[in-house]
Every structure is written in structure tokens, then in C-alpha cells.
Homo-oligomer: A and B are copies of this chain.
Amino acid sequence: MIKAGIIGATGYAGAELVRILMNHKDVEIKWYGSRSYIDQKYADVYRNFFEIVDAACMDDNMEELAAEVDVIFTATPQGFLAGVLTEELLEKVKIVDLSADYRIKDVATYEKWYKIEHKSPQFIEEAVYGLCEINREKITKDTRLVANPGCYTTCSILTAYPLVKEKLIDPSTLIIDAKSGTSGAGRGAKTQNLFCEVNESIKAYGVTTHRHTPEIEEQLGYAAGEEITVNFTPHLVPMNRGILATEYASLNRKPDGTYPGYEEIKAVYDRYYGKEKFVRVLDQGVCPETRWVEGSNYVDIGFVIDERTHRVVMMGALDNLVKGAAGQAVQNMNLLFGLKESEGLEMVPVFP
């Protein structure tokens, strides 16, 4: 039985981790860390766990926690883990970090976009970017630190990755227009996230400045084999869960002067994802909808070629709290401990 601790257990991603791990046969949660609710019963904060979780919330003492558990999930604000991480901790416990602290390899880029100083850059190199479908072989029993990808980034990267990697599209033309449910904004008590402010409205936010941008650029840059710069625009949608990324890019002409067609692109997607349990490449003419992945670890991907503009419109949908956060964290944990990658994650999407 793997013993797990969660720091930040009372945020939405933390609560989703609890929900998923409760149904994971090889894991036992030993520590519900939540600075804001210390000593309160966890089930009083999230009443869906009434009579299911009996524990009270604990503080975020990483040393004590490391002595008690095999893996720590940090579902914490940016900068928290970077501020407390030490070699001693990593010698004792595996860490899956749901924050952005170790996602970006270039410290300067991190500090510029996040506007905070990185307190432990020495661990960045070691951290593995935990996008399982792409970095699976790097996430092993020897891995100590996993940087769990962001919600928008998981969706944005997986949707475009095969076409970027196979140079079917020109990455300098990539535009990502993403839409997210409101749980992505967290559980903080802010006026702008009140029901009446979000309901019956849609807006873009963080236009040209959202912090998931450099993460997407870095990962797709690896795929492209060159530095790339993209436009990424997130939008807030009046729904609880779900991210849809609509991505536009110009197709590269082939040597014979023609453009790749449906069959060719479909074949590439199938080659990359055909055997992936959690990536579903949809049939021709079917567009992803967030309702079909809600509550599950799936990413649904579809695409349409515009023969008039020679662009391809790629679309990806996932549940931001599952594949976009807690589900992927558990997927990483499974890899870290040599379990079946999908263990505890085989939930069918909930509809309606």
C-alpha cells in the first residue's frame, strides 16, 4: 500500500486527488494538508466526503510528512514547493508537484512569467515534466520529482503535438484559443468568480500574458526541434469543469507542393495515440465536447482541414481537474511506483 500525502488538499485539484485516490486500490492517504483548515475535519470542508473521509486537515510540514509517506502531492500556489524543497526531502519521498515550480527548464522564463523568484533552481534539471503520453519513459521508479503539467498546457500540447513533431504544420503560425470551466480559477473567495459574475457570460483573460504560454512553447518547441512562439488565449466559460482548446496552424506544403490531407493527418494522430488509453482520436467529422470527458482522465482530439486557407483546426477536450491536474498526477504516481499506468483512473466520463 502506497502511503500518500497531499499538501493543498482543500483546493479543487486537491479535492479531486482525494476523490481519485479513494478509489485507487493501492494507495492510502495519510495526510490531508491544508494550511487554511488545520484541525477541521476534511469532510466539513468538502461534504461529499462525509462518512468517507474521517481525517482532519493537517499543516504543511514537509519534513514530518516525508517521514510518513511514500509520495507527496503538492497542489499548492506557485513558489511553495520551490521554497521548501531540499535534497533531504527528495531522498525520503517522491514528489508530484501540481504547481508550475519545476515545469519550465529556464529559470529566467519562469521568473519573468510568474513574477516570483525561484528559490530552488537546483532541482529544475532533475524534475521530469510529467506529460505521461510524451515523457512516459522518463517517469520511473528512479524518478524523484515530477512536474505535473498545467491544465491548459496538457490540452494544448497533446492536441498539436503529433503535427508539430511530424512537421505537418508550421509552428510559428500556431494560435491556441482555449476555453475553461470555472474550477480552473480555484476556490479563492474572489468577487470575479462569484456565481452571478461568471454565469451567463464568457470572456477572454490573461490575453498574451497567461503563464501557461511558456510551458506550451517549451514543450512544443522540443517537438519542433526549435524555439517557438505561440498565441495562447484562455477564456472563462460558465461551467464547472472542462477545457476545450481550439488550435489553428498553417499546414506545411509537402515536397510535391500539395498539402497533407485528412487521411495523412489522421494516420499521424493514430500512430501517436492509437495505443494510448487516455487519448481518444475521434472519428472524421466529430468535434470534441467537454461533456464527453467530464469526470474522467480522457483527452478527446479531433481536427478539420480547411482547404481554402490551408490551415488545420485542431481541437482537444479534457477535464481540467482530472487529466488537467489530479488524474494526471495519479497517472504519474502510477508510473513512479511501477503500477499499471491507468490504475484508479478507469472512470467512465459522467454524463449528463
On A, residues with C-beta under 8 Å from B are 12, 15, 18-19, 22-23, 46-52, 175, 177, 179, 181-183, 187-191, 193-205, 207-208, 229-231, 233, 235, 237-242, 244, 246, 248, 280, 282, 286-296, 300, 304-306, 308-309, 311, 313, 315, 317, 346-352
Are A230 and B309 CB-contacts (below 8 A) given A242-B202, A290-B201?
Answer: yes
Q: In the complex, are the beta carbons of A208 and B282 less than 8 A apart?
A: no
Q: In the complex, are the beta carbons of B352 and A12 less than 8 A apart?
A: yes
Once the chains are docked, how many angstroms separate the CA of A230 from the CA of B179?
21
Q: Give the residues in chain B near A351, CB-CB below 8 Å.
A: 15, 19, 46, 48
How many identical chains are in the complex?
Answer: 4
Q: Give the residues in chain B near A288, CB-CB below 8 Å.
A: 203
Q: Give the residues in chain B near A311, CB-CB below 8 Å.
A: 175, 231
Are A237 and B240 CB-contacts (below 8 A) given A175-B248, A313-B207?
Answer: no
Q: In the complex, are the beta carbons of B233 and A203 less than 8 A apart?
A: no
Q: In the complex, are the beta carbons of B48 and A240 less than 8 A apart?
A: no
Are A49 and B309 CB-contacts (below 8 A) given A196-B12, A200-B200?
Answer: no
Q: In the complex, are the beta carbons of A352 and B204 less than 8 A apart?
A: no
Q: In the complex, are the beta carbons of B190 and A189 less than 8 A apart?
A: yes
Q: In the complex, are the beta carbons of B239 and A203 less than 8 A apart?
A: no
Once the chains are docked, how many angstroms separate the CA of A19 from the CA of B208?
34
Once the chains are docked, how many angstroms separate the CA of A79 from the CA of B308?
26
Across the interface, A195 reaches (CB within 8 A) one of B198, B204, B294, B296, namely B198
Q: Give the residues in chain B near A190, CB-CB below 8 Å.
A: 189
Are A233 and B246 CB-contacts (below 8 A) given A195-B182, A240-B199?
Answer: yes
Are A200 and B242 CB-contacts (below 8 A) given A49-B348, A191-B189, A306-B208?
Answer: yes
Are A292 and B48 CB-contacts (below 8 A) given A196-B12, A237-B238, A246-B235?
Answer: yes
Once the chains are docked, how many angstroms separate the CA of A240 from the CA of B198?
10
Once the chains are docked, how many angstroms separate the CA of A350 from the CA of B304?
33
Are A199 and B348 CB-contacts (below 8 A) given A50-B292, A189-B190, A244-B204?
Answer: no
Q: Give the residues in chain B near A179, CB-CB below 8 Å.
A: 179, 202, 235, 237
User: Can you list 24 A-B pairs, Cβ within 8 angstroms, ordered by A?
Assistant: A12-B196, A18-B348, A19-B351, A23-B348, A47-B300, A48-B292, A48-B294, A48-B348, A50-B282, A52-B348, A177-B177, A177-B248, A179-B202, A182-B194, A182-B199, A187-B196, A199-B240, A200-B291, A200-B294, A202-B242, A203-B289, A204-B287, A208-B305, A238-B238
Q: Give the residues in chain B near A191, CB-CB below 8 Å.
A: 187-189
Q: In the complex, are the beta carbons of B194 and A47 less than 8 A apart?
A: no
Across the interface, A208 reaches (CB within 8 A) one of B196, B235, B313, namely B313
Residue of B nearest to A15 (CB): B351
Q: What would 14 more interface pairs be, CB under 8 Å, given A179-B235, A195-B197? A: A23-B346, A47-B289, A48-B293, A181-B200, A183-B196, A196-B240, A197-B291, A200-B239, A200-B240, A202-B242, A202-B244, A207-B287, A248-B248, A295-B295
Once the chains are docked, how many angstroms separate the CA of A305 from the CA of B293?
34
Are A196 and B300 CB-contacts (below 8 A) given A208-B306, A289-B47?
Answer: no
| Cβ of A225 to closest chain B Cβ, rounded Å | 19
Q: Give the residues in chain B near A46, CB-CB below 8 Å.
A: 351
